[in-house]
A and B are shown apart, each in its own frame.
Chain A
Amino acid sequence: MAKMYTPAMAKIEKKRARRKGKTKQSTPWREAWKRLKRNRLAIAGMVILILLILVAIFADFIAPYGIDDQMLKERNLPPSSKYIMGTDNYGRDIFSRVVYGTRISLPIGFICVIIAYAIGGTLGAIAAYYGGKVDNIIMRIMDIFQSIPPMLMAIAIAASLGNGVVNLVLAISISTMPARSRIVRAAILTVKRNDYIESARAIGASSTRLLVKYMLPNSIGPILTSVTFSVATAILTISSLSYIGLGITAPTPEWGSMLSAGKELMRQAPHVLIFPGLMIMITVLALNLFGDGLRDALDPRLK
């Protein structure tokens, strides 16, 4: 019997032929990206995140006014075509300030997380790798840190060091470090039991090599996922500290301190408070959506 050709088959053939030219080798990262692409919410989160980063980079071109251009005759104006998010009690354009705010929250959030992971993660990895006494000593110190709620600890550190970006970063990094060390420790402990670690030992790999080349790359999934969630938490913490006046203070356009400044006029001019609040919410939501998707994409159990 002759082979039958239906239009659908032809279509598939065509697609296959097109793909053939550019078949890429399947790597764990490409597989993860494929799974991530199927998750619409995660992609939405990612797109928002990229937009926010672009806004931060091109803030100078996007913002119509400077961060402290005061139009004293036009205070507390509701949103209009001239000021799309209205103005605050000094007559500053809220849209411009919100746009410049991305330059504060995003980088500081990321830096806090990077520092917390660099210190806490290294300690956690060492604790997990060596186990026994080393593990006990490091983790008990972390326990002492963790017995104070991170928010309280951040407040205490920020209050004692005083205001300023560096102090804020320090406060948040130190207060979140114990939790991060636990995450890395748990991830390494799971990987440590695998046969390929034993077989790497059997070819004579040194401890450092085992840790850096075998254990860390294999536990990068859960770590990366928790990094995105951690950035969201860090941004919230920055805003909270600024709101109570311990973080970044006016006139720097930090979203939390903008909220704080707007709270007195909540009844007359709610927009002063709504837009920075909305930005915090969107950023945190985007990070959480993306983190969720990333966890699903990188979790090997779903493969």
Chain B
Amino acid sequence: MSENVLEIKNLVVHYETPDGVAEAVNDVSFTIKEGETLGLVGETGAGKTTIALTIMGLLPKPAGHVIQGEILLDGENIVETSRNRLKQRRNDRMMRKLRGSKIGMIFQDPMSALNPVMYVGDQIAEVIRLHNKVSKTEAAKRAMEMMELVGIPGMRYKDYPHQFSGGMKQRIVIAMALACNPRVLIADEPTTALDVTIQAQVLELMNGLKSKFKTATLMITHDLGIVAEICDKCAVMYAGQLVEYGTVEHIFNNPQHPYTLALFAALPSLDKDVDRLKSISGLMSDPMNLPEYCSFYERCDARCEGCMKLDPPITEIEPGHFVKCIHFMDKKQVAATGGGSEHGEVTV
């Protein structure tokens, strides 16, 4: 296998607000290789978008801070944890060069992601001109090629975004993100705002382009169906932490964490006719006030007394498959971290 293109190590991101500190991302690590797609799933507020913004270097200022951790792009660290102004500014300048050229991003709502007063073609050409020393005509030519590549006739170069449908706008956004052939593509719920048929088209397009450009993709979504369709790996997030992480086969064929199981249980089934879908009771813990112990405890079906005693570390249960739950920790580990020996057998 090829090298890791994107590697995130022990990332911790906090939002510091006057009301308190929101722990948005807590010790998250994952890697994406060339041409690989990682699906990041989790409910609203789990910290998915915060991870995306951190990679882009676009955390909302002044609240957002990277407390610790590294993000390695082709082996080079691109986050600055120091609060030193000069270092921050140097990092900002470096990130501006990377954004658009090495890291591309697709936003959730294509309706509002394009500048309404610029030709769509010019918006693609702008990315090219920002990162390459090319003439205006050359950039326009390449922008037109990109448009053709995402399935929009080049003759619509001089159209405004309001003349395009949602799906077409999303194609333009994809063309913008890929115009400079980035190493990493971050797609933040790229199909949430589109209807189902267009969703399928856009996913197919992304899949095709991904294999063509060999881009490492981080796909953020709520939709397990999308993960199954186009991702190679999957990470399930809950309250700022990865609770389960592995290949798509691991997660879909052999889910282990109670939260992942509950997510699958909540999906409607094709073969069975049920009146009510299963839901996960309760709400996600407040990121301003996370418990000391497992953050899923309050809603967990498999909770036991030992769960209250520690926050379990993420454990590898089979090669490449990680689960963050006390039930999968070694007995020795539990004893070492002070957890109770009375935790029961896994019942799920």
Chain A residues engaging chain B, CB cutoff 8 angstroms: 25-28, 132, 194-196, 198-206, 213-214, 217-218
- Which residues of B are found within 8 Å of A194, using beta-carbon distances? 112
Most buried by B among A25, A199, A200: A199
Which chain A residues border B116 with CB–CB below 8 Å? 28, 196, 218
Contact of A204 among B98, B107, B163, B173 (CB under 8 A): B98
Q: Find out whether the CB atom of A203 lies under 8 angstroms from the CB atom of B115.
A: no
Instruction: Please list 26 pairs of residues, one from A and one from B, whose beta carbons are closer than 8 Å in the complex, sorted by A's number.
Output: A25-B159, A28-B116, A28-B117, A194-B112, A195-B107, A195-B109, A195-B113, A196-B112, A196-B115, A198-B58, A198-B113, A199-B105, A199-B107, A199-B176, A201-B99, A202-B99, A202-B104, A203-B99, A203-B126, A203-B130, A204-B101, A204-B127, A204-B131, A205-B130, A213-B115, A218-B117
Residue B114 at the A interface, CB < 8 A? yes
Q: How far is the CB of B161 from chain A (nearest CB, A)?
A: 9
Cα–Cα, bound, A217→B123 (Å) = 14
Instruction: Decide if B96 touches A206 in the complex (CB within 8 Å).
Output: yes
Chain A at the B interface: mostly helix, strand, loop or mixed? helix
Contact partner, B58, options A28, A195, A201, Cβ 8 Å: A201
A198 cross-chain contacts in B, Cβ below 8 A:
58, 107, 113
**Contact A217-B117, Cβ < 8 Å, known A199-B105, A204-B101:** yes
Known: A25-B159, A196-B116. 7 other contacts (CB 8 A): A25-B158, A196-B114, A199-B107, A202-B104, A203-B126, A203-B130, A204-B100
B100 touches A202 (CB 8 A): yes
- Cα–Cα distance between A198 and B114 once the two chains are bound (Å): 10
A27 & B105 in contact (Cβ 8 Å cutoff): no
In the assembled complex, how far is the CB of residue B267 from the closest CB belonging to chain A, in whole angstroms?
Answer: 30
Those 3 A-B pairs whose CB atoms lie nearest each other, nearest first: A203-B100, A204-B100, A204-B99
Bound-state CA distance A255–B301 (Å) is: 84
Give the distance to chain A from B239, nearest Cβ to Cβ, in Å. Answer: 25
Decide: A196 and B176 in contact? CB cutoff 8 A.
Answer: no
Q: Which residues of A contact B130 (CB under 8 A)?
A: 203-205
Give per-residue flags for B145-181: 1 if the beta carbon is below 8 A from chain A beta carbons, else 0: 0000000000000111011000000000100110000
B97 within 8 A of A: yes
Tell me if B225 is interfacial: C-beta within 8 Å of chain A.
no
- Say yes or no: A202 contacts B62, CB within 8 Å: no
Contact with A along B269-308 (1 / 0, CB 8 A): 0000000000000000000000000000000000000000
Q: Give min CB distance, B175 to chain A, whole Å.
A: 11
B40 beta carbon closer than 8 Å to chain A: no
With an 8 A cutoff between CB atoms, is B56 at the interface?
Answer: yes
Measured between beta carbons, the chain B residues less than 8 angstroms from A28 are 116-117, 160, 162
- The residue on A at minimum CB distance from B117 is A217
User: Which residues of chain A are near B159, meaning CB under 8 Å?
Assistant: 25
- Considering the complex, give the chain A residue whose CB is closest to the CB of B52: A202
A195 to B110, CA, bound (A): 9
Separation of A200 and B166 alpha carbons in the complex (Å): 18
Q: Determine whether the beta carbon of A132 is less than 8 Å from that of B98.
A: no
A217 nearest CB neighbor, chain B only: B117
For A200, the chain B residues whose CB sits under 8 A away are 115
A203 CA / B114 CA spacing, docked (Å): 12
Digit string of B45-85 for contact with A (CB within 8 Å is 1, else 0)? 00000000000101000100000000000000000000000
A276 to B274, CA, bound (A): 83
**Contact A195–B62 (Cβ < 8 Å):** no
Alpha-carbon distance A64/B107, docked complex (angstroms): 66
Contact A199–B158 (Cβ < 8 Å): no
Question: Is A204 a contact partner of B115 (Cβ separation < 8 A)?
Answer: no
What is the CB-to-nearest-CB distance from B271 to chain A, in angstroms, rounded to a whole number?
40
- List residues 91-140 of chain B with CB under 8 A from any CB of chain A: 96-101, 104-105, 107, 109, 112-118, 126-127, 130-131
Please state if A202 and B97 are interface contacts (CB–CB under 8 Å): no
Other-chain contact of B112, A27, A195, A205 (Cβ < 8 Å): A195
Determine the distance from Cα of A199 to Cα of B177 in the docked complex, in whole angstroms: 9
Distance to closest chain A CB from B332 (angstroms): 46
Determine the distance from Cα of A195 to Cα of B113 in the docked complex, in whole angstroms: 5
Closest chain A residue to B158 by CB distance?
Answer: A25
Please state if A27 and B160 are interface contacts (CB–CB under 8 Å).
yes
CA separation between A289 and B197, bound complex, in Å? 48
Q: Residue among A195, A213, A214, A217 with the most chain B CB within 10 A?
A: A195
The smallest beta-carbon distance between B138 and chain A, in angstroms, is 18
Cα separation A214 to B176 with both chains bound (whole Å): 16
Give bound CA distance, A214 to B113, whole Å. 12
A217 and B100 alpha carbons, distance in the complex (Å): 22
Closest CB-CB distance, B318 to chain A, in whole Å?
37
Bound CA–CA A64/B127 (angstroms):
60
A191 to chain B, nearest CB (A): 10
Residues of the A chain whose Cβ atoms lie less than 8 Å from the Cβ of B100: 202-204
- List residues of chain A with CB within 8 A of the CB of B131: 204
Taking a contact as CB atoms under 8 Å apart, the answer to whether B99 and A196 are in contact is: no
Nearest chain B residue, comparing its CB with the CB of A200: B115
A214–B99 CA distance with the chains assembled, in angstroms: 17
Q: Which residue of A lies closest to B115 (CB)?
A: A196
Chain A residues lying within 8 Å of B62, measured Cβ to Cβ, are 132
Closest to B161 in A: A196
Query: CA separation between A238 and B98, bound complex, in Å?
Result: 53
